[in-house]
Structure formats: C-alpha cells, structure tokens
Amino acid sequence: MALKSSGLNPAVPGLSRRIVRLMVAAAIAMILAGCATTFIPISWGMREKVLLLSRQDAVLEILFRRYDPERKTLRVDGASFNIVEMEHDDWKFVGAYRQEQRLIYRNLETTLDDRDLRNVMVHEMAHHIWFGFLSAEQKKGWCRYLQGNPSSWQAMVRRIYRDERLHDAEDFAYTVEFARMADVEALARLGIISMDEMRQWVQAGPQELEAWTKVAEPGL
C-alpha cells in the first residue's frame, strides 16, 4: 500500500518516521482491540478431512480434477496472515484465497461444519479458477451471462465488497458456490467445465440458493 504525501515538509527530520510509528501503533491497537482476523491454510489441523471432502463431494471433485489435481491449493506450508476489519454484527469472512501463494485459507476463529467447509472450498476454488485459469474472453462471457441471468447474491456482493474491482470475481465465486442449473450450463458453454462434467454436476444436484446467514459467508 502506497502513501501519498499531503504537504509534509521534507526538511523536518524524522517527521515521516514519526508518522509511520503512529500508523504502526494504531494498527497494533486495532489488533489488540479484536479487529484483526487471522487466516490459516484451510488444511491446518484437518488435512485428511479436507482432502477427503475434495474427492467425495461431486462439485469439488470436478473442480479439483480439472484445475488442481495435485491439491496444491490445500497444502499446509503457507504462512498465516491477518486482516484488520471493522466489527460487523451480521456477517464475517470465513475463507480467503491468496493469489501469490495459490492457496486456500480459512478463518482461524470460526468453527465450520461440514457443509460450511465444503462451501468455503468451492468458493475459494472458484477464485483459484477465476484468477489463474480463465481467459479474458471467458471472464467477459461470464459477465455477459450474469447480466442476462442475475444472481440474487450480486446485491450482497455490492453491499459487502465496496471495491468495484472485486465484484466480477466475487460474483463468479458466489454463483459457482450456489450454482443454479443455468449457471452450470453456462460454465460448460464457456469451456470452464466440460459437457460431461456439467452432466455430473447436474446429476449431483446444484446447491439450492440459501438465505444469507450471519456466519457462513465465505469471501476475500
């Protein structure tokens, strides 16, 4: 993150260093106040469970077989990280994907049941696909598809994610996580999954669009 000078006098020695120290102190205060959320690799403490789920769940098996057959996004050698965010009464981030590490993470402070864990994995795997594998044309095609077939998750995305640059990726991840029949067909038409994989996905039964709850909101 870059800082832009706002009229600081470069002739005053130590001024920039004092400002930096104040900013660091403020960040530490926020962390101590409970505003920091720690994320750890999703496999930490549950590697066998995560690997088994990636093979037993029909949708996860399709996505991992095509885009991460060696399960490298589920490795445990990634460093944890913190994000500092404001307190929210009605939602929290429970998953994350780090592009630089190509690794899926989970919120250390949140206990996930099997269904929530599965949903986090689908959501973050969708990010892995969006950022690492889709061509510009495929992304444009998906955005055009959603314009004609909007998902009810898009309003939530625009409320929670204020940075408009995140909207397309989050639209894709939430739609894949809670895919409708038409969404699965669109994935196949755009070459994101094969026609055979589309039939397997549909046969398994697309996720029903659920009401947004207080806890299970994967993101980042």
pLDDT, tens only, 48-81: 999 999 999 999 999 999 999 999 999 999 899 8
Residue 27 belongs to a domain:
no
pLDDT for the residue 91: 67
Residue 67 belongs to a domain:
yes
The tokens of 113 are what? Answer: 């049941």
Residue 193 belongs to a domain:
yes
Residue 171 belongs to a domain:
yes
CA distance 176 to 157: 14
pTM of the entire predicted model: 0.78
- The answer to whether 95 and 124 are in contact (CB under 8 A) is yes
Residue 28 belongs to a domain:
no
CA distance 155 to 59: 25
pLDDT, tens only, 146-190: 999 999 899 999 998 889 999 999 999 999 999 999 999 999 999
CA distance 164 to 158: 8
Residue 60 belongs to a domain:
yes
**Domains in the chain: how many in total?**
1
Residue 215 belongs to a domain:
no
Q: 82 lies in which domain range?
A: 38-204
The overall average pLDDT reported for the chain is 81
Residue 78 belongs to a domain:
yes
Q: Is 165 helix (H, G, I), strand (E, B) or coil?
A: helix
The tokens of 180 are what? Answer: 């409708």
- Residues 114-124 have a mean pLDDT of 96
Got the DSSP string for 44-91?
Answer: TTTHHHHHHHHHHSHHHHHHHHHH-TT-GGG-S-SPPEEEE----SS-
